[in-house]
Amino acid sequence: MRRTRVLLAMAGVVLIAVGARKLLDIGSANTVATGRWLIGGVVLHDFVLTPVVLVAGALLVRAAAPWLRRPLIVGSVVLGTVTVVAIPMLGKYGARRDNPTLLDRNYVAGWFVLAAVVTVAVAVAALGARYRDGKRAGAGAARSGPDSAEEESAMGGRAARGPQPS
């Protein structure tokens, strides 16, 4: 493994050098403009996006009832990350009046459709979880600690399965 690691490290350094060389070759003004975006992306992610997500996530977990937590987290991660992907489409920043074939959808309406689908999936999964919890409590199966059965059902509990006879 040590050999593999050394070879990988050397290959990595060579590839980085190739990239740096190619970048510098374009010209100094281009390199400065690129550097601004390279650093800007990290700053935006590490000092704005992630703290906001950490705080929002913590609040969400504390505020939500236990049966709602997992579907809510799963739904938020899906909708949140896909919304990040959709920012350039939602804003239509690249749209041009002379080219109606570019960015030619109603993306805001599309976002609401996606949000509605995710919300319904979260609701179904949450109601399913509540139903199962209720049955379990009714059967008197007292449990403590992390629920391994829930862990196994993972994503399945989110949308497709819904309430299941156990």
Partner 1 sequence: MKLPAAPRVPRREDLGSPLHSPAVAARVGVWLGACFGIAFLTGLVSHFAQTTPGWLTFPTRPVSLYRVTQGLHVLSGTAAIPLLLVKLWTVYPRFFLRPGPRLRQVVVHALERASVGILVAAAIFELASGLLNSTQWYPWHFGFRRTHYAVGWLAIGALVLHISVKLPVIRTALGLPISADVGDGGAEPPNQPAASGSPEPSETSEQPEPVGISRRSLVRTALAASAVAVVATAGATVPLLRRVSVFGVRSGQGPQGVPINKSALAAHVTDLARHPGYRLTVVNGSRTASLSLDELNAMRQYEYALPISCVEGWSASGMWGGVRIKDLLTLVGAPSDSNLKVVSLQPAGAFAVTHLPSQFTRDDLTLLALRLAGQTLDIDHGYPCRLIAPDRPGVLQTKWVERLEVVA
> Of residues 37-56, which lie at the interface with partner 1 (CB under 8 A)?
37-39, 41-42, 45-46, 49-50, 53-55
Contacts 24+ apart (CB under 8 A), 5-11: none
Q: Is 164 in the site for partner 1 (CB under 8 A)?
A: no
Task: State how far the Cα of 74 lies from the Cα of 48, in Å rounded to an integer.
Answer: 22
The site map against partner 1 for 140-159 (x = CB under 8 A) is ------x---xxx-xx--x-
Task: State how far the Cα of 16 lies from the Cα of 76, in Å rounded to an integer.
Answer: 35
- The minimum distance between CB 81 and partner 1, in angstroms, equals 4
Site for partner 1 in 74-113 (CB under 8 A): 74, 77-78, 81-82, 84-86, 88-89, 92-94, 96, 98-99, 101-105, 107, 109-111, 113
Within 1-106, residue ranges assigned H as helices are: 2-26, 28-43, 50-63, 66-91
Task: State how far the Cα of 123 lies from the Cα of 70, in Å rounded to an integer.
Answer: 11
Q: Is the CB of 14 or the CB of 137 nearer to partner 1?
A: 14
Q: Is 114 in the site for partner 1 (CB under 8 A)?
A: yes
Select from 81, 74, 90 the least CA-distant residue to 124: 74
- The minimum distance between CB 63 and partner 1, in angstroms, equals 11
From the list 30, 119, 164, 166, which residue makes contact with partner 1 (rule: CB under 8 A)?
Answer: 30
Start-to-end C-alpha separation, the chain: 46
- The minimum distance between CB 59 and partner 1, in angstroms, equals 9
